[in-house]
Structure 1
Amino acid sequence: MGESELTAAAVRAELAKVADAADAIHLQRFFKTGPGEYGEGDVFIGVRVPQTRKVAKAFAGIALPEIDELLDSEVHEHRLAGLVLLNDRMAKASRKRGADVELQRRIVELYLAAVRRGRVNNWDLVDASAEFVLGPWYLDRPRDLLFELAAQESLWERRVALLTTFAFIKAGDPATTLELCERLLVDRRDLIQKAVGWMLREIGKRVDAAILTGFLDAHAAGMGRTALSYATEHLTPEQRAHYRAQR
């Protein structure tokens, strides 16, 4: 595909070709787009994730302003395609040999701007991007920005902060995750509770089960039911019963 064809408009056109109206109805229900729900007002055209990723793959090398245009679309699948493309650009810019730090910086700034203007605004969008865009950048840098995001009222900014740390957990560094989880325990919104429990569970699985149980020893009594259930999922039945009895 020629460079002149690598445009946001071309991505949108390709997604439209594989869109399905029945799937759009299903996805709008699944992602809670009704009044008062967390995805209120989001628009779907009915493209499944594997198809979206396939379309995005054909546009590798698309310019960042075109990705930014996709992220500003009212259509969910357009934004997801933009994030998939941004992940790819970040991965290429982060390769150990010849890493392009300036390009990394531009990608991170573009992503954070999209987060702050409410364009990374559903759990699948956050989960498909935060660890892959912000994770590599903050792995070896100060992480103050993540605590700033976690201090916002926005559900999505808080989830971005926490899901970014999945990259740190995979690198064997759970410290930031633990601190963010401690701060977010009081947020009883379901999608924060699930994220907290999920990240704690991953610490136990990937880093050290003793770190997880140590956190639970200190905090289980004050944890929400959902977070505690997710966090203890891979513990023994006896351990799960022990921690759940503390609530």
Structure 2
Amino acid sequence: MTTHTQDSKTKSGSNETGTTEIICTAKEIENTLQFLGNEEKAKHLMRFFKTGKGQYGEGDLFLGIVVPESRKVAKAYKATPIEELHQLIQSPFHECRLVALHILIEQYKKASEAYREEIVQFYLSHTNYINNWDLVDLSADKILGAYLKERDRDLLYQLAKSSLLWEQRISIVTTLAFVRKGDLDDALQLARILVYHEHDLMRKAVGWVLREVGKKDRERLCLFLDEFAATMPRTALRYAIEHFDESKRQYYMNLAKQK
């Protein structure tokens, strides 16, 4: 991929992951992304991600770059030092924050245990910049979920009680890393805590995770739904039962109608 920057400090070198890649500054990455931007796409993305006054993405700015292009930039600059990512993730531009997270994910895969700890601490200390559903969904399970697979998960229950919507979404989406391995307990417990959340984005996240639980263990999902289907938000229920056959979907939707 050809990159376009105004800074001459770009160089090759090794980072904590042990790879030799292009190393550059946050400003260079932002310059590259600005070059790739498209004003019309930016307008569309600002509508799609609800950036208007009073909406969940209020004030977020977009350059107008499709995700595949953002991934290419992240791959090219995946050796960027974490100090530069600290600046990049604080950018007002959504795509800059997205690229910072993609780089962290790539680095985490090959990182030493010590550097993985640093990445996780970085992630947790910047949750106020992981401030839209796509940023949470691309990163929570791949960073925090990967880290917590063999560790204590009390942190997720703390995040679930946070006043920050995005930390709450991080808590439930992180469990997808466990669910894929057949470890369902935390996903179901956090779903119990968050199932009546007032925000539609959380209802969708809970339903999504429940659907994935059902792919691994239909019986455990049905036990959850037998308890909650009559009262849980319809959005969450619809997501949870998407993979059921028509008769089973109607059964649970009718329970909801009877509440």
TM-score bracket relative to the smaller structure: over 0.9
Residue 222 of structure 1 corresponds to 231
**Among 87, 105, 110, the residue aligned to 2:117:** 105
- TM-score, normalised relative to structure 2: 0.90
Deviation at 1:153, TM superposition (A): 2.2
Residue 156 of structure 1 corresponds to 166
**Among 90, 111, 124, the residue aligned to 1:72:** 90
Residue 212 of structure 1 corresponds to 221
Whether 1:60 and 2:78 are equivalent positions in the alignment is yes
Q: What CA deviation, in whole Å up to 9, does each residue of 1:21-40 have, x standing for no partner?
A: 11110110000000010000
Number of corresponding residues: 238
User: For residues 189 and 48 of structure 2, what CA distance do their matches in structure 1 show?
Assistant: 31
Which one-letter code corresponds to 2:194 in the other structure? L
Q: What CA deviation, in whole Å up to 9, does each residue of 1:94-141 have, x standing for no partner?
A: xxxxxx2111110000000000xx100000000010001101110100
User: For residues 85 and 172 of structure 1, what CA distance do their matches in structure 2 show?
Assistant: 28
Whether 1:145 and 2:145 are equivalent positions in the alignment is no
**Among 166, 170, 175, the residue aligned to 2:185:** 175
Residue 233 of structure 1 corresponds to 242
Residue 97 of structure 1 corresponds to none
User: For residues 38 and 214 of structure 2, what CA distance do their matches in structure 1 show?
Assistant: 40
The percentage of counterpart residues that share the same residue type is 44
Segments of 4+ in structure 1 off by > 4 A?
none
Aligned partners of 2:53 and 2:59 also within 8 Å: yes
User: For residues 179 and 238 of structure 2, what CA distance do their matches in structure 1 show?
Assistant: 20
Residue 187 of structure 1 corresponds to 197
User: For residues 84 and 27 of structure 2, what CA distance do their matches in structure 1 show?
Assistant: 8
User: For residues 71 and 249 of structure 2, what CA distance do their matches in structure 1 show?
Assistant: 38
Unaligned runs of 5+ in 2: 1-10, 14-21
Residue 253 of structure 2 corresponds to 244
Whether 1:203 and 2:213 are equivalent positions in the alignment is yes
User: For residues 46 and 166 of structure 1, what CA distance do their matches in structure 2 show?
Assistant: 29
Alignment of 1:16-35 (within 5 A): 16-35=34-53
User: For residues 102 and 124 of structure 1, what CA distance do their matches in structure 2 show?
Assistant: 27
Q: What CA deviation, in whole Å up to 9, does each residue of 1:66-103 have, x standing for no partner?
A: 1111111111000000000000111112xxxxxx2111
Q: What CA deviation, in whole Å up to 9, does each residue of 1:175-223 have, x standing for no partner?
A: 1000000000120311000000000001111x11111111111111121
Aligned partners of 2:51 and 2:58 also within 8 Å: yes
Aligned partners of 2:71 and 2:102 also within 8 Å: yes
**Among 59, 62, 84, the residue aligned to 1:44:** 62
